[in-house]
């Protein structure tokens, strides 16, 4: 018995050393960070992958870059490509067979548009073009004439005019012109996040100018992201994102133009054909990028009245709205998650509960 004790002690020491080495290896693996900024999708997309070998992280980032670039080419609203061909076909009263990826995003867009009560409607590409937002740089010059705006509104282009049969797309209304700008980033980052997961990447963030999808965690803490202040350089708040969450912001502070002292935003109200005014920024916290992105656009259109009903109809709960007078409105689900950056929020946050009993819209296939 007394002879066995030193052996046991030695064995115990070896075990402790092995565990320490394993723990250190795991810790250093978790510390491994691969960060790259890609210029794809007409914007800068920051990809950060943690806890992977450099080779694997590099290969995964390259795959994401290729995917986003091909989506950009296929889904572009005004350069030649698959969506452009589809728009030409629709205007000529023809159908077109696209690929499953575009058909899928159009099906999602049609459902989200229906749920938003038509406030989010990617079929209003004609109006968006008329206002001059079909260009890489914001428009200059005068806004379009009231007659031209009214004529396009009267033609009532709607996503619900689309007929989607497998990958065969047609429209019952030739005025439909598709512009996926209101949710393409969300749909694309969802596909990119799925691609990373399929490649076995567990911890990553995809950040396209503040629109973010996350996988897993940032080492032993959550991924933390900021919501930009639309009025001054800085952040309104920060949020610690849980694995699989997304945060999307629609803002009227980046793409807009000014004419004779008046500011015209790039989000158009499909009911009037005119840019939205009241809301300067909407952030949506969710688990689906396409839905969050579409909802942020829809709630910008909804304005301070009725936005909470639209959020419920679209199935989103975490919402922060910033009005043109700087007021902050948040759902309780968002309020719980907002952290001030610095001492306090830039203004008191008014908490607006989501209404109960909003009938579920019937927006099936």
Q: What are the residues binding Mg ion (CB under 5 A)?
A: 182, 250, 293, 296-297
CB of 174 to ligand ADP, least distance (A): 19
Measured from the CB atom, the residue of 67 and 246 that comes closer to Mg ion is 246
The verdict on 129 binding ligand ADP (CB under 6 A) reads no
Distances (CA, A) of 332 to 328, 350, 352, 360: 13, 9, 7, 21
The verdict on 178 binding ligand ADP (CB under 6 A) reads no
Count of residues touching ligand ADP (by CB under 6 A): 22
Return the residue of 41, 75, 133, 223 that touches ligand ADP, per CB under 6 A.
133
Cα(180)–Cα(76) distance, rounded to whole angstroms? 8
Return the residue of 57, 71, 86, 128 that touches ligand ADP, per CB under 6 A.
128
90-127: b (≥16 Cβ within 10 Å) or e:
beeeeebebeebbbbbbebbbbbbbbbbbbbbbbbbbb
Residue ranges in 240-299 that form contacts with ligand ADP under rule CB under 6 A: 250-251, 254-255, 266-268, 270, 293, 296-297
CB of 223 to ligand ADP, least distance (A): 20
120 makes contact, choosing from Mg ion, ligand ADP, none, with CB < 5 to 8 Å by partner type, with ligand ADP
267 makes contact, choosing from ligand ADP, Mg ion, none, with CB < 5 to 8 Å by partner type, with ligand ADP
Measured from the CB atom, the residue of 51 and 118 that comes closer to ligand ADP is 118
Measured from the CB atom, the residue of 254 and 324 that comes closer to ligand ADP is 254
Residue 186: name the closest of 252, 254, 105, 86 by CA: 105
Please state the φ and ψ torsions of residue 244, each to the nearest 5 degrees. Answer: 85, 0
Neighbour count for residue 43 (Cβ, 10 Å): 13
The verdict on 218 binding ligand ADP (CB under 6 A) reads no
Number of H helices, E strands in the chain: 10, 16
Q: Quickly list DSSP for 131-195.
A: TT-SSSS---SPPPPHHHHHHHHHT---GGGEEEETTEEEES-TT-B--GGGTHHHHHHHHHHHH
181 makes contact, choosing from ligand ADP, Mg ion, none, with CB < 5 to 8 Å by partner type, with ligand ADP
Return the residue of 65, 122, 129, 230 that touches ligand ADP, per CB under 6 A.
122
Residue 237 near residue 283, CB atoms below 8 Å: no
CA–centroid distance for 240 within its chain:
17
CB of 69 to Mg ion, least distance (A): 21
133 makes contact, choosing from ligand ADP, Mg ion, none, with CB < 5 to 8 Å by partner type, with ligand ADP
Residue 33: name the closest of 217, 193, 166 by CA: 217
- Residue 7, classified by CB atoms within 10 Å of its CB into exposed (0-12), middle (13-18) or buried (19+), is exposed
CB of 294 to Mg ion, least distance (A): 6
The verdict on 181 binding ligand ADP (CB under 6 A) reads yes
CB of 12 to ligand ADP, least distance (A): 58
User: By the criterion CB under 6 A, which residues form the site for ligand ADP?
Assistant: 120-122, 124, 128, 133, 179, 181-182, 250-251, 254-255, 266-268, 270, 293, 296-297, 300-301
């Amino acid at each position: 018995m007394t002879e066995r004790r030193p052996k046991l002690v030695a064995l115990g020491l070896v075990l402790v050393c092995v565990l320490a080495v394993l723990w250190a290896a795991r810790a250093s693996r978790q510390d491994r960070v691969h960060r790259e900024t890609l210029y794809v999708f007409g914007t800068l997309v920051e990809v950060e992958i943690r806890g992977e070998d450099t080779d694997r992280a590099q290969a995964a980032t390259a795959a994401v870059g290729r995917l986003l670039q091909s989506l950009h080419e296929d889904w572009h609203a005004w350069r030649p490509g698959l969506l452009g061909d589809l728009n030409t076909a629709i205007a000529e009263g023809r159908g077109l067979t696209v690929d499953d990826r575009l058909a899928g995003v159009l099906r999602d867009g049609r459902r989200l548009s229906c749920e938003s009560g038509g406030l989010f409607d990617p079929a209003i590409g004609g109006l968006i073009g008329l206002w001059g937002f079909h260009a890489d740089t914001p428009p200059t010059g005068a806004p379009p004439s009231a007659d031209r705006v009214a004529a396009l509104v009267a033609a009532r282009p709607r996503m619900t005019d689309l007929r989607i049969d497998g990958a065969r797309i047609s429209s019952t209304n030739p005025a439909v012109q598709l512009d996926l700008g209101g949710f393409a980033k969300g749909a694309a980052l969802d596909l990119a996040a799925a691609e990373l997961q399929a490649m076995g990447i567990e911890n990553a963030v995809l950040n396209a100018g503040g629109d973010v999808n996350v996988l897993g965690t940032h080492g032993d803490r959550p991924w933390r992201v900021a919501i930009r202040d639309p009025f001054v350089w800085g952040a309104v708040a920060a949020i610690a994102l849980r694995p699989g969450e997304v945060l999307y912001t629609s803002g009227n502070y980046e793409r807009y133009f000014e004419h004779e002292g008046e500011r015209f935003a790039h989000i158009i109200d499909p009911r009037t054909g005119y840019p939205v005014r009241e809301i300067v920024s909407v952030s949506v916290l969710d688990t689906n990028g396409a839905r969050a992105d579409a909802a942020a656009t829809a709630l910008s259109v909804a304005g301070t009245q009725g936005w909470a009903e639209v959020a419920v109809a679209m199935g989103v709960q975490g919402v922060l709205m910033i009005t043109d007078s700087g007021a902050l409105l948040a759902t309780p689900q968002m309020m719980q998650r907002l952290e001030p950056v610095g001492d306090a929020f830039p203004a008191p946050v008014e908490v607006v509960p989501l209404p109960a009993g909003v009938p579920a819209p019937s927006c099936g296939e």
